[in-house]
Each structure stands twice: as C-alpha cells, then as structure tokens.
Chains A and B, each alone.
Chain A
Amino acid sequence: MKEYQTITEISGPLVFVETDEPVGYDEIVEIETSDGETRRGQVLESTSDYVAIQVFEGTSGIDRKASVRFLGETMKMPVTEDLLGRVMDGTGQPIDGGPEIVPDERQDIVGAAINPFSREYPEEFIQTGVSAIDGMNTLVRGQKLPIFSASGLPHNDLALQIARQATVPEEEEGGDDEEGSEFAVIFGAMGITAEEANEFMDDFERTGALERSVVFMNLADDPAVERTITPRLALTTAEYLAFEKDYHVLVILTDMTNYCEALREIGAAREEVPGRRGYPGYMYTDLAQLYERAGRIEGREGSVTQLPILTMPGDDDTHPIPDLTGYITEGQIYIDRDLNSQGIQPPINVLPSLSRLMDDGIGEGLTRGDHADVKDQLFAAYAEGEDLRDLVNIVGREALSDLDNKYLDFADRFESEFVDQGFDTARDIDETLELGWDLLSMLPKEALNRIDEELIEENYREDEDAAAEAVEAEA
C-alpha cells in the first residue's frame, strides 16, 4: 500500500492530495496526522494528478506532512447477527465496551439499487397501536414513512412508541417463531443531542428492546461529515438482517435534517453549483439512495421498513429537505404544533399526513372490510369540521346549521378521543375502527356518503346516547 505525504490543500472537510498512481472513486482513505492519530475519509473526486478526499472525523490537526494511505476498496460494513444488542458510533466502531465484532461478511455501504423487477409489493399491515396511524395512515412492511416534525415537538416519543408497539396481527396468534422471522430495530442517530440519545437509550433498556436493536450514534458534537455515512451503515446492517437473516427490520433515522446539512457543508467546501437554498443539486438522488433501500424482495422472508424523522426548518414543508423527502417516501406523518400545545398525544395531524401504500394494506383479510370506507368518511368529516372552525371564529356557533354544529363537535371529539390516546396506550385495529364508528354515529346517516350502505346498517350506532356512553367506557 502506497503512502503519500503530498497534501496540497486542506479546506473545510476536504483534503486534496497529489498522487502518481490511480485511485478509485469512492475509495476509503486513512490519514495519519503528525501526532499519530488516524482519520478516515472517502475519495470524492479522482483525477490522474490529484484526489479530493472528504474526511469523516474533521480536518483539524492535519498538516501538509500527514501521511495518506488509500485502502484500495470502497467503504464496507462488517455485518453479523451478533450486531443485535450493540451500540456503535457514527462510523460503526463499538462504543458499548462489548467484545470485538467478528463479522460474517463485509458489505459495501453504498448498496446497489434493488431491481424493481425483484421487489415484492408491500402489503402486510403493521399495527403500530396508534389510531391516527393505523386507522388513517396505515404503515405496511417495507414502506418508508417519514415523520415530518419540527423543533420542540415530541417526534422522538412517537418513534419510540411505534418501535415498542409495532406488531403484525397474524403473527401474534401464530407465535413469533413460526415463520422464523423476528422483529429488529435499527436506530441511526445523526447529530442528535446527547440528551435525546439518552432518552432513546433509556427507553430501549427499560423495555428490553435493546437486545433486538442495533444502535448507531452520531451525536451533535461528532464530526458533521461522519453523518453522511451513519445512515448507510445502518441501512447496510438492516439489509443484511432482513434479506439474509429473515428479520423484519424497522429502521429509525433521526434527524435527516442534520444529514442534509452535512451534505450541504461538503457541497459548499467543494465549491459546487448549489441548488435550492444552497443544498446540492444531487440531494434528491442522494436521499433516494437512502430511502429506496426500504422494501421487500421476492423470495426473501424479511423486510426493511423505514421511519426517518426530520425537523422542518421553520415548520415549512416546502423547505427542500421535507419537500424532496416527500417526493421519495411513501407518504408522511405530520406532527402538529397546535395539537401539541393542546396537549394531544401523539399530536398527529391526520389531514396532511398520508400513507401511499395504505390502500393495498387494508381491507378484508388484512385489517377489516370496513376500514377503507370508515377512513374516507373520517377524513371527510374531520376536514369539514376543520373548515367550519374558521367560520365559527367570524360568525359564531349560533349562525351555523345543526349539521354544521355536529361537524364541529365531531372534529373536537376526533382530536380528543381518536388522536389523543397517550404515548403509552396501544390500541388494536378493532378498537381503532370501533372508535371511528362511535364518532361517525354523531353525524346523521345521510351525511355518511363515503360508506357503503350495508356497512352503515351494520355498524351505525342508532342511539346517540348509547354511542356516547360506549365512547366514555372505552376512554
């Protein structure tokens, strides 16, 4: 292995080295500083005279005399089933003081694209126990469903609640080991604070979830450039566990906003032509290479389901990060500041939220035959109520018709009963849908135009008082 001491330029996270032998694009590099410290990096551009290296751990302390070694291979992640229960830093080095990891395989962290022809369409319902998700925006195995949040909102609590409660209903009956596929959680943290990290770790330890989890921690004070590889390590591990070892893997990535900031930093250091708001023009492609690693593959037992979390700068969903994410992922869950200040837990705003894979994941045999109709009607009625709230502020309740008043009451109860269930309650899908019927029965039968007539006859609570009692009893 050839060593160079020919660094010509150091700029931000980038180091430029003159070389006399060809170096492969994306290759891994080790840089040894004069005080003996080793830094790792990756080739960003390779020409016959020089290469540009992006250094993961930051460039401070590197000088012209630092020696640079090219390892002749692209970045690999050592993977094994024994990773379960382990905690690693953002570059994949164990930090839990456990034994050294003996890998079964070393896999390329970039990950090749899954051939669309080899994919299997995801349609297995995952019960998260959260009504606003199960009932209104159902998650399925192999889906990528981000949580759109903002600073100061409890997105972490929701992610933890999902990680704790997620099950697939049939398996509960058949027993976990029947198909040989187990559930695993991969947690990739990018630039979160030590406090947030503790919150996650405490919860993992408290619930015993840690033993079926792999944790990658890049904290807020870790080098920013390292964040660009953390999610790739996490996803490489996820793919290995899912497609080689038959696990159903849930990958939680938080916070994607920090990841994108790191991309911007590298782009700026390379003096690239910036796209919107200074983010690189290839950010869509880059994000897609992460998000598209969710899915199912024909003939393989396991699945990779992604739950990325991102905080929208200024609560603005047209900002490039949520915007590009929304175009790639299969829906999104919005955390709402107003609902949060009303104390609703989890404060999910169902109206702008969406699960694109829902229509194929629900219905007879999957959830329940009336699920689709009930969902449509709940959406329509809640939207109607939301609209009327604006009007009430101007003209007052008295000026509205009876029906309009019912819609307003419906919207209130929808939030306080259907959405607000607390972070510790798990509701199964039957409970969620029955609650939906209870609420819909506040409206006259004729107003339920999205539901099949037969279903209305079967489920409509004729007696309003009885319906109200039923709700109280359940609440």
Chain B
Amino acid sequence: MSQATDTDVREDGIIESVSGPVVSARDLDARMNDVVYVGSEGLMGEVIEIEGNITTIQVYEETSGVSPGEPVEGTGSPLSVDLGPGMLDAIYDGVQRPLDVLEEKMGSPYLDRGVDAPGIDLDKTWEFTPEVSAGDEVAPGDIVGTVPETPSIDHKVMVPPDYEGGEVVSAESGSFDVEETVVELDNGEEISMRQEWPVRSQRPADEKQTPTEPLVSGQRILDGLFPIAKGGTAAIPGPFGSGKTVTQHQLAKWADADIVVYVGCGERGNEMTEVIEDFPELEDPTTGNALMDRTCLIANTSNMPVAARESCVYTGITIAEYFRDMGYDVALMADSTSRWAEAMREISSRLEEMPGEEGYPAYLSARLSEFYERAGYFENINDTEGSVSVIGAVSPPGGDFSEPVTQNTLRIVKTFWALDADLAERRHFPSINWNESYSLYRDQLDDWFVENVREDWPEVRQWAIDVLDEEAELQEIVQLVGKDALPEDQQLTLEVARYLREAWLQQNAFHDVDTYCEPEKTYRIVNAIQTFNDEAFDALEAGVPVDEITDIDAAPRLNRIGVQEDYGAYVDDLEEDLAAELQEKY
C-alpha cells in the first residue's frame, strides 16, 4: 500500500467509539475516502462517513483492544495503489500489501496488525530502456520506456495521467529503482517507474469500443457455446460445490489474456495457497513461460478483515486498468463478488444505514455497475488498444438466483454462466447449465471464429444447440413414459445429445490433456459427433434398428477425444470407422 504523500497537513483526531471494524473519531480533519491510521498501533482505515464533528472510519485490520481516546492520524490522500514493475508474480492482500513481505516483517505465519509495506519493492532495480529522447513531445499516458518485468511481459513506463506532459529534457537508460527519475520534462515534471492511483476512480481512457475478439478460454462449453469477448463481462453464479472456483482457476490458467489479475475476495485460504503453489509450475499456453509471470494475485480470505474485503476488488481492477493502459489484454477474475457485497452490507449495517433488499445497502446496484463498467475494450489515451475483461463469481445463498447480488449483476453483465448443483452432483464438470446460460457476445464474435477456426463454426454450434434443446424437451417425456416408448428417431437424438454432453460439454480440469482444449479441437469434437449423427440417421432411414446403431463399437470412442493429445489423427480414424461400421449395417 502506498504511503500518503501528505502535501497538506491535517488535524489529527481522537477515537470516540469502536464497534468491530467501524471506528468513529472526534475532531479529525479528513476528506471522504481518505486513508487514516487508527490507534496507537496505526491500523489502516478509510473514512466512510462525516457527520458534524464525528468521522466514521472502516478499519482494514482487526480492532481488538483498540480503545476510545487513542489517536487517529489523517494522511490527506485517498486509498491508492502503487503501480510499477514488480506487480506480476506478486501476492497482495486487499489493500495491496505484499503477503510475502508481511510474513517476513511479522516473522510469523499469522497476520499481525499495524504492519505496512509498499505494494512494489522500492529497493529493487530494473533495467529501463527509454523509448523517447530529448526534444520529443509527450502527453499524459504516453509510453516513455520499457522494463523487462518478467519473461512474458514488458512493463511499459508511462507518463502518469494526471501529469501535464511536455517536452522531454532527458531520458536515461540503465538500472534504476522505481522511485528514481528516468525521464524529465521541460516543465519540471519528473517521471519515475512508479505511479500511484486512487483505487475508487477509473483510470482515464479515450473511447470504449465494441469488442470483437473472444477471450479464448480453452474450455469447450465456454468457447463453443457461451464465449466471452476480450473486454467483456461475465458472471458465474452457483451454489456451493458447483465449481465456481475451479472454473475461475481454469480461466486464470488458460485464458489467452496477456495479464491475469486474480482477486480472491472473502474465499478460502487453502484455495489461494493452491494458486500460489500451482501457478509458478504451470506453463502459460501462449508463451510457454511460467503462468505466474503474467499473474497478479490479490488474496483477502474470508477470515481476513472485512473492510479490506470491500476494497480488494477495487485494488484489483485498478491494477488491471494500469496494464490495459500499456496496451495489454487483461482478464480479471473476482471470486466472489457476493463476499464483496456482503462486506458492504456488514459495514452498512454497522453504520445503521437504512437497508435495501435482504439487508444489502440501497447503493449495492450502483456499486456493482460502477465496478463492471470499468471493464471494456478501450482505446487508451496513448493511442494503444487494451482491454479489461471481468469475470465475477457470485455465490447466491441457497443457490437461489433471485437474490439481489445475482439479479443486480445479471442486469449489467453480458455473459451468464449458470452453474447447476444437479450437474455437479452427478459430477458433470464444468457444471454449467447449457439451457440457462447465455452470451450476448456470440454474434459479434462469430466473425473471429469463422476467420480463425472454421467457416461453418456458427452453423455447427447452432446444430449442437438445437440437439441439446430437443433433448431437454424429450427428457420431459422420458421422465413420464420411459425412453423405450419414444419413436426411434427421437431415441437416436437422445443418444447424440448424450455424446454432446459427455464428449463435448464435459471436460476434466484435472486431466493433463483435457484441461485445455483449443478452439480447433472444440470444433473437431462436435464435428465428429455430427458425423455420427448424420451417418446414424442415414442408417436409421435405411431400416437399421436404433439399438444396433447405438451399439456400434466406434461410438463410445467419441468420449475419449478430449483426452487425446494428437486428436487430429484420432478424429480422422474415428470418423472413418463410424461411417464404415454404420454403412456396413445396410
């Protein structure tokens, strides 16, 4: 977390009362949303209400033992993050304190209080190469040089958006720490590799554009049926145990974004540990480097202070926007936005605000839309193009999608991946319900798939959707009369739909090969099932009984395409065998 650069000295206050994470102070001269240090231990907090002489503060740390009469010190600046090289490969808490540094400073595996640490290492030096030279004119946001941050990512050093810009006086290459000036302007402005930005305000950009490129996730049901665009928004609601976190992890691992910001908001400690242990060993499918080289983790687990949970999504999206400004495609996963909403509810109820629906504050909907609106495909102020895609998990109580957080989220996001407890119970993973989910990006992304995968992608996909829809209808009848009472062609449709579910929609996240499925393979699998479908219906028309068709030896091999590394040859063989075996029968 950045220390405040206090330009104006402000009056300190005295604690008046303490109730959990909410502290009120007397005589404190602070602005709304300013960061303050509370009590003799200097716990970090943020001003959330000012009334008369009383200032109300939410404290980001445990308040046990804090008592009235202790001092409150203002910093005069809002909650901000440090931006600069060193954020990738890092793991932060909700207010951007690096957890590894905290462990070292506290000398204990437990999180102590009142310890602060800068978000980026101030002592580490980086190799800076300028991209401007003396005499060049630079405007706010312009890229003035690069730093090789990780093997995957070149960090671009930019003129901070709140600078005026001007003519470059000097630009030096060499080894610097993040606070040293690397570029100097004629108006006296000095540019270093580090800048600060208040988390609650959006970083400026020129124009938001309509996204036309998919964020390829390597997950068949997502790429195939419900794709999300680069710069798009998606929600994953589902009851507990339905696979929200596994889906988020899969996206963080395999999505073809340049940068991934993963926000663990109020979730399990062990899940974050899994990410910390797994990601450095996994390979980024696009660059071949370690996945961690493109990842920034923010972990505020459920037992960490509730106020920091409220701020962690903002910390995450500000970091995402900063990388977007460099022209990168950033994907942000927030797991789970419900915990964020609950943190708002908890603070709001401590403030005794009038509650809205189910005790959530009336401004829930405004806060959610404000957050999701920070996603998008942007033309940046330095004329590069970058995107922030936001994928938010939602944890509705009792799995009931009619609750306020799910409903308010669905009003904003354009992709909806509905997780289904029934599917999870029968271990159909990813347990995304294909009848309820939708993606409003589907049409605008079709061009990309046609160009980059196969020309008939939209048609093939539509065929699959039709079969699955028909299955849903037929299943209702089967529930009443049994499968054998259906006419033969409908029995065959059910069989085809079963392969679509088992061979195509199901995907094993824990299988080395199946965990990632490139779009070409996604296409080949559904195409192979279509081949089976066509050949089978030809056979049926020629008078072959349906039992004999479904009993052929080649058909179950469809279920194994997913785990084939060399799927091309496998599918070729399989399609031939399917045709041969079925044609033999008539």
Contact = CB atoms under 8 A, between A and B. Distances in A.
A79 interface: no
A326 interface: yes
Interface in A265-303: 272-276, 281-282, 284-285, 288-289, 291-293, 295, 297-300
B415 to A, nearest CB: 23
Given A318-B400, A376-B427, A114 B358 contact: no
B272 interface: yes
A292 B426 CA distance: 28
A25 B66 contact: yes
A23 B269 contact: no
Nearest to B100: A117
A293 B268 CA distance: 11
Contacts of A94: none
A332 B240 CA distance: 10
Interface in B420-456: 421, 424-427
B399 interface: yes
B318 interface: no
> Which bucket holds chain A's interface residue count?
35 or more
A26 interface: yes
Nearest to B479: A391
A352 B395 CA distance: 17
B426 A390 contact: no
Interface in B221-278: 239-241, 264, 266, 268-270, 272-274, 276-277
A149 B468 CA distance: 37
Given A115-B99, A115-B103, A273-B355, A323 B19 contact: no
A391 B482 contact: yes
A24 B110 contact: no
A116 B269 contact: yes
A281 B276 contact: no
B51 interface: no
A281 B364 CA distance: 15
A466 B406 CA distance: 53
B349 A25 contact: no
Interface of A, helix, strand, loop or mixed by DSSP: mixed
B289 interface: no
A292 B303 contact: yes
B336 to A, nearest CB: 8
A343 interface: no
Given A114-B109, A275-B358, A285-B302, A22 B67 contact: yes
A37 B66 CA distance: 29
B99 A273 contact: no
A357 B400 contact: no
Given A114-B110, A116-B99, A45 B19 contact: yes
Contacts of A181: none
A117 B345 contact: no
Interface string A148-187: 0000000000000000000000000000000000000000
Given A46-B68, A274-B359, A285-B346, 20 more contacts: A22-B15, A22-B68, A45-B19, A48-B17, A112-B110, A115-B109, A116-B264, A116-B276, A118-B103, A275-B349, A276-B359, A288-B301, A318-B399, A318-B400, A330-B270, A354-B241, A376-B427, A399-B485, A401-B483, A446-B556
Closest CB pairs A-B (n = 5): A318-B398, A288-B302, A47-B17, A118-B109, A292-B303
Interface of B: 15-20, 62-70, 91, 99-100, 102-103, 106, 109-113, 239-241, 264, 266, 268-270, 272-274, 276-277, 299, 301-304, 306, 339, 342, 345-346, 349, 352, 355, 358-359, 395, 397-400, 421, 424-427, 478-485, 502, 510, 556, 559-560
